[in-house]
Amino acid sequence: MNCIELLFALLVAHALADYAWQGDFMAAAKNRAKPIPGVPFYQPLISHSVIHGGFVALILLNPWLGLAEAIAHGLIDDAKCTGKISFNADQALHVACKILWLAIAILVPGLW
């Protein structure tokens, strides 16, 4: 795949994982500011973040970039849930991360 195809795949995977497949429970349960009783917020937040990381790892064929995505995604979502950043900033940062992972995969020898 070329760079445009890889970026498109990353963005499609993001749209699926953040919108179509996230579900109401996951979206609510990952929010530490409005916790669901009996559900530790970090469990759905980590699960959601690992799904995103898994997509990045599979698309870019690199588990380290997938791990970086999982960590970044969790931190960004937590910042959104706690009101530190807006929804639009959250989405912009997610897209910026996808561009960064792709750039690293292409520019760093031996990663891809």
Looking at residue 85, the DSSP 8-state letter turns out to be S
Domains in the chain, number? 1
Looking at residue 2, the DSSP 8-state letter turns out to be -
Q: Greatest CA span in the chain, whole angstroms?
A: 47
- pLDDT 10s digits, 95-107: 999 999 999 999 9
CB count in 10 Å sphere of residue 20 = 8
Best CA proximity match to 69, nearest among 33, 95, 108, 88: 95
Q: What is the pTM assigned to this prediction?
A: 0.94
* In the predicted structure, residue 112 carries a pLDDT above the cut 90: no
In a domain, 9, yes or no: yes
| Cβ 111 vs Cβ 65: under 8 Å | yes
**Residue range(s) defining the domain that contains residue 25:** 3-107
In a domain, 101, yes or no: yes
In a domain, 112, yes or no: no
